[in-house]
Structure 1
Amino acid sequence: MCEVVAAGSFRTAAQRLGYTPSAVSQQISTVERALGVQLFERSPRSVRPTPAGLQLARRAGRLLADLTATEKRCVPTPPPSADGCGWAVSGPRGSGWCRRC
């Protein structure tokens, strides 16, 4: 989604992501059907996000950035006890173990 918005075409987004343009287009169509809203205006050579598509892309971009930041803070390690999930988390408030809650 975000890559299609940035690239302006399924073809360029697909090249950047390592997929076929058809696969990217089909995935976007699947999301559009699931949400019941058109996310892109399509023309023969480009695609433009609709207002809903732009809003979704912005939110998805923030979520991906948060996920990337979280992954950088987590290091797989053996859990200290049976109820630990096996991820040590470090950050501005110190280090600790992620617990399964």
Structure 2
Amino acid sequence: MLPSVGIFHHNKYNAYCLADDIMEPYRPFVDTLVFDITKNKENFEKLTSELKSILLKIPAMDVMIDGKQSPLMIAMSRTTHSLFECFEGSSRKILYPQYGE
């Protein structure tokens, strides 16, 4: 697993194309949080301590993966490991988070 060799992301100037591919399924969770911030906060144009505090909670955000609730950071590790197992040939299933209902 070479970080610069992506599955869908390809850019000779990006050393982390594979990382971009792995985090793509988690983008809706972050996008929703940022959308909520822009919708509910009056002053979001400046990165205040309050906004930093909200954004720093992203890795601990609960997501569903493989039928179980898990912090986003752990879920990303599970996605990465399942991709490794596919490359290794011991599995044919990549674990992705479930978004929404």
Q: What's the TM-score once normalised by structure 1's chain length?
A: 0.29
Larger Rg: 1
Structure richer in strand, relative to its length = 1
Q: What's the TM-score once normalised by structure 2's chain length?
A: 0.29
